[in-house]
Structure 1
Amino acid sequence: MSPGYPALRQVDVHTHALPQPLWRWLVDQGLADTDVPREAYDVPARLAYMDEAGIEVHAVSVSPHLRTPEDADTGFVRELTRRSNETLAEFVAQAPDRLVALAAVPVGLVDAAEEVRHCLDDLGMAGVVLATRGMGRDLTDPVHTPLWELLAQRGTFALVHPVAAPGRDGALAAALDVATGVSAMLHAGILETYDVPLCLAYGGGALPSVRGLLQRGWERLGERPALHHSPLDQLRRLYYDTAAFDSLQLRQLVEFAGPAQVLMGSDYPAPMGDTDPIGVVEACQFGPVQEMITGVTATSLLRLT
């Protein structure tokens, strides 16, 4: 351990769960497969994996892919969100020193902030997972103003996660979804107005690759008056997980944003997920700053004790 760092906890900020009561309900609704990785619903199995991988803490969320971004049934969205959060709270309570919950947010609904307040205050969750869209609305829609105000007031950690894009390649859609969603927030002034610790899933998707285009547009296409800080400055203040699945891209991400802005994230136990996220970081040979990526910063953002 490097001098000056606190006792290190290896923290994975991007993992998912499908608690059994929620899984059974979804199967009954015809909305889930009967074949799910055991670690998604069985806490002892997950802890055994974590021990083997050397990970002390998982920040766990129910995948936003359970709903489509164009769902218009408000009753269903509210029920799915509440069931997701209540069962997730029970799931992490089985190992409170190893698992912390990120609340599902009913993006697109006017009462999204109230659900988040319930999760933070009543269920003791450590943060939220924000789908890029919901109910046909993205995160720049004015309906989300109370949500942004609450997250900023609390300094709540938020993992920005893509949602399904039917009819398109899933991996490419995820990369583009993160990029377009965050670009929209940048240009709408959301990132400047609300000081929220946002972590972008999948290493920011395609966003780091187009940062030069965003900067040039701000400089030359009349976008400057709308923003007080340049796109590059704003992007450097965001957090990014390590689930880029490419060592060169991950090293470039750390070089761009700095090691304090990159957090270990695996997407475990999803099919695309990293099963050895610590090894992924170690392979990049970051040296002493690796500890910031694998646990130091996340421990602070999630307020782990």
Structure 2
Amino acid sequence: MAEPKIDIHSHVIPGRIVSAIAADPKRFQARIDGEGAARKVIHDQGYVYPLFAEFHQAEAKLDSMDRKGLDISVISPAPPMFYYWADADLSLDVATLVNDGIADMVAAKPDRLRGMASVPMQHPDAAVAELERVVREYGFKAVEIGTSIEGEQLAAERFRPLLRRASELNVFVFAHPYYVGTKAGLENYYLTNLIGNPLDTTVMLANLMFSGALDELPELKIVLAHGGGFAPYQIGRLVHGHKVRSETHATSKSSPKELLKRIYFDGLVFDPQALRYLIDLVGADHICVGSDSPFDMADQDPISTIDAVPRLTPHERRCLCCGTALQLLCEA
């Protein structure tokens, strides 16, 4: 039997949270507009996106996976479902609805889907409790966390208990940029996503490195979306800065290059030559398939992107397609 091709970056908005928003748009500060295939989600904060069937129907997710040549997807909430701005009651309710809804989809297609949790990061005690619940009740092996929490860096001390608990539970952290408004210079041309998202990931990783957070959590498994943003390409600059600037080594004595070897990445860089660089830098055993489906910034044929990588060896291809993901999911 051929080894499965596993996507670790595939988003959902489960039926439970869709129904809750439709029933009480005022509480959830969002509404569902339109009918059938034309439905869309409109958030009070101003962002709007189509409510594709793939977001909430397991069968539609599988159809999309089949078109992309994928056998298994680790499904995670679309970032607007983080609700990091909300109070404790609302944010925990949203996380519970999302996680139970993801579990529903996994239960419907257990041979093809795996679950990734969401937690209310702005309320750390509740976040730890919800992580423990989904691991206990559903056996989830992954949790998705924004690269920042309402502008606060993941490296902040108050988020350390959640990261520590994830490490103890052998749950990997999938760090995904979280849209929190435009940034200066990125207002036009969709640069908030095209540049802003990879920039947010880069800033998050640098803070985790220089703050000593990664030193404190040597067993933490963290996976970065979108190929790690700009960090892999600029790792030499971080290394040099760590040598020559007192601010960067005041807390952590570990070289950023050594810390980078502990990080995992999806391969969502769209360019085979860029993926070749990432393989050479961190090793294929630290890279997984990432499609970002069903958003328009998805790679619609991620396996072909991998197959186009220059000098790709059979071992590297196996790592990217399934080996790394199986290790992270503890299914190897």
TM-score (norm 2): 0.84
Structure 1 counterpart of 2:13, which letter?
L
Residues of 2 paired with 1:139 and 1:244: CA distance? 23
Distance in structure 1 (CA, Å) of the matches to 2:268 and 2:31: 26
Counterpart secondary structure, 1:207: coil
* 1:72-125 residue CA offsets vs partner (Å, 9 max, x unmatched): 523222221111111111111101111001100211212111111111111221
Indicate the residue corresponding to 2:12 in structure 1. 17
**2:149 paired residue among 117, 134, 157:** 134
Worse-matched range after superposition: 160-169 or 175-184? 160-169
SS in 1 for 2:10: strand
Q: Is the 8 A contact 1:160 1:200 kept in 2?
A: yes
Whole-angstrom distance in 1 between the partners of 2:119 and 2:51: 23
Cα deviation, 1:252-305, whole Å, max 9, x if unaligned, reads 111111111111111111111112111111111412111111101111211237
2:44 corresponding residue in structure 1:
none
Q: Which residue of 2 aligns with 1:208?
A: 232
Gaps of 5+ in 2: 33-39, 42-49, 184-191
Is the 1:203–1:241 contact (alpha carbons within 8 Å) kept by the matching residues of 2? Answer: yes
* Partner SS, residue 208 of structure 1: coil
Tell me if the contact between 1:236 and 1:257 (Cα under 8 Å) persists in the aligned partners: yes
Distance 1:41 1:160 in 2: 22
Aligned to 2:175, the other structure's residue is in SS state strand
Q: Distance in 2 between matches of 1:107 and 1:138?
A: 11
The corresponding residue for 1:188 is 211
Quote how far apart the aligned CAs of 1:136 are: 4.7
Q: State the secondary structure of the residue aligned to 2:258.
A: helix
**1:173 aligned partner:** 196
The amino acid of 1:197's aligned partner reads K
Root mean square deviation, CA, Å:
1.9
2:313 pairs with 287, 293, 296, which one? 287
One-letter amino acid of the counterpart of residue 174, structure 2:
L
Amino-acid identity (%): 27
Larger RCO, structures 1/2 (Cα 8 Å, 6+ apart): 1
Residue of structure 2 equivalent to 1:297 = 324
Which stretch has the larger CA shift, 88-97 or 30-39? 30-39
Deviation at 1:44, TM superposition (A): 1.4
Give, in whole Å, the separation in 2 of the partners of 1:197 and 1:119. 18
- Checking the alignment, whether the CA contact within 8 Å between 1:108 and 1:143 is kept in structure 2 is no
Report the equivalent of 1:4.
none
Q: Distance in 2 between matches of 1:174 and 1:136?
A: 13
Matches of 2:82 and 2:329, distance apart in 1: 26
Structure 1 residues 208-237: Cα deviation after superposition (integer angstroms, max 9, x where no partner)? 232122111101012335223200111122
Counting matched residue pairs gives 299
Tell whether the 8 Å contact from 1:107 to 1:139 is kept in structure 2 after alignment.
no
Unpaired segments of 5 or more residues in structure 1? 2-6
The equivalences for 1:89-168 within 5 A come to 89-111=103-125, 112-168=127-183
The Cα shift of 1:52 comes to: 3.5
Pick from 244, 256, 259 the counterpart of residue 269 of structure 2. Answer: 244
Q: Match for 2:122: what amino acid?
A: G
Normalised TM-score (structure 1) = 0.91
